Amino acid sequence: MGWHGYLAVWCGVLGAVALVGYGRSLAGMTRAQRAVRVPGRIEQVRVPRNGGSRRGGIPVVVSYREPSSGARVVVTNDGEHGEQGETITAAWTGREIGVCYPRGRPHDYRFTADPQAGGRGLGLPNTALFLLYAGLVVAAAVDRGWPWALIGVCGPWALVGVCYLPGNVRDTRHRRERLASMIAAEGRIVAVLRDVTTDAEGSTSTTVTPVVAFTTREGAAVTAHCDAGVPDPADSYGRHLTVHYPADDPAGFVLDHAAQQRSVRSDIAVNVVFLVLVAAAAVTGVLLL
């Protein structure tokens, strides 16, 4: 069997995986689609201890109504459960979050930041399709010359970029307006979390996470991890700072408001330049054929 035979096997196996995956998704049989999703509410936020761990996110108590019985269920993100989904890094009493669990196994719950969010379980078939396409591009590049690699890689990328460009421009404008309309509030670093880990070779790595607390105009007391925007984070405990947050979602707060505004101005230009470069590479491939 020549290498074309192996390529055929590669494409056949991946094509079968993709077909089965898309079929399951269309039939609503993927694990993500069969999961039970219910809206939950944060009932209590516990301020992390200074020097504690960021593992598990902000400690919260969440309640939700069990759909079949209507009973109110109270759960926490205790590190074993609720952590497999999205880590809650910004919390306030009354915040709505999603609770999701496999059918018949409510004890195996996890949280999602968006209560309405629900995947279609297309990760595996999409990956299989991508690998199948990559195999075809490699085959074309080997059989018919390297310009096919340029066309195969950059062509679809440029097409996707063109399709998404209007949406990207809209999103960037929306982000710009959102940044401009953010409300300023005074915040304070109420804890600095510290996690030290060692890898297999014995070298240690330290993660320092300041925790900021601020109160919105509506009176919601927000507690959140700060992954960026706090200078000298290790010594930031007790520091006061200005927090800017969108009125509709305090979880989208920023600490470096001016820097974010500067960055968003160049986003469209970066998108366009990138698109032009990719399209030029694809056209170069066509010309070199």
Partner 1 sequence: MTTATVAPPTGAAPLDLARGFLTGGVIGASLAAFVVGCTLGRVPLIVAGPALLAAYALLFRLAGAPRRAREGALAPLTALALIDGREMRTVAETDVPVRFDLTVAPDLAPAFRIRITQDVHVSELSNHRPGTVLVVRYPPDRPWLLRIVRRPTPEWEDRAAGAVLEPASGPVVVADRPDGCAWSLTTLLGVLLGAAAVVLLMRAELFGRDTDTPAARPVTSSSTSTSTFSVTATVTSSTTGTVAFGPGRSVLDRGVLREAVESLTGGGGGDGRQALTVVVREQLLTVVFAPDGVSAPAFDPRSLPFDRVPALVEEARTTLGVDAPRTWQLSAERLAGALTIRIGVAGAGGSASLEADGLGTVVRRSPAR
The β-bridge relationship of strands 221-225 and 90-91 is antiparallel
Answer yes or no whether residue 119 interacts with partner 1 by CB under 8 A.
Answer: no
Answer yes or no whether residue 1 interacts with partner 1 by CB under 8 A.
Answer: yes
Answer yes or no whether residue 72 interacts with partner 1 by CB under 8 A.
Answer: no
> What whole-number distance in Å separates Cα of residue 30 and Cα of residue 123?
10
Is the CB of 44 or the CB of 126 nearer to partner 1?
44
Which range, of 164-172, 194-202, 222-230, 272-280, touches partner 1 by CB under 8 A? 194-202
Taking CB under 8 A as the criterion, the residue among 69, 71, 80, 232 binding partner 1 is 80
Taking CB under 8 A as the criterion, the residue among 198, 200, 228, 287 binding partner 1 is 198
Query: Which CA distances in Å does 272 have to 34, 85, 166, 266?
Result: 40, 34, 11, 10
| 3-class secondary-structure state, position 204 | strand
DSSP string, 5-20: HHHHHHHHHHHHHHHH
Q: Are 193 and 51 in contact (CB under 8 A)?
A: yes
Answer yes or no whether residue 164 interacts with partner 1 by CB under 8 A.
Answer: no
Distance of alpha carbon 226 from the chain centroid? 16
**Phi, psi (degrees; rounded to nearest 5) at 173:** -65, -40
Is the CB of 134 or the CB of 169 nearer to partner 1?
134
Answer yes or no whether residue 46 interacts with partner 1 by CB under 8 A.
Answer: yes
Q: Are 77 and 97 in contact (CB under 8 A)?
A: no
> What whole-number distance in Å separates Cα of residue 230 and Cα of residue 209?
9
Here's the x/- map for partner 1, 132-161, by CB under 8 A: it reads as -----------xxx----------------
CB of 72 to partner 1, least distance (A): 12
CB of 107 to partner 1, least distance (A): 5
Taking CB under 8 A as the criterion, the residue among 4, 72, 217, 265 binding partner 1 is 4
> What's at 219, amino acid-wise?
G
Answer yes or no whether residue 78 interacts with partner 1 by CB under 8 A.
Answer: yes
Give the 3-state secondary structure of 127-150. Answer: HHHHHHHHHHHHHHHHHHCCHHHH
CB of 74 to partner 1, least distance (A): 5
| 3-class secondary-structure state, position 271 | helix
- Token digits for 49? 């201890």
CB of 237 to partner 1, least distance (A): 13
Answer yes or no whether residue 68 interacts with partner 1 by CB under 8 A.
Answer: no
Contacts with partner 1, residue ranges (CB under 8 A) = 1-4, 6, 9, 44, 46, 49, 51-53, 55-56, 59, 61, 74-80, 102, 104-108, 143-145, 194-198, 204
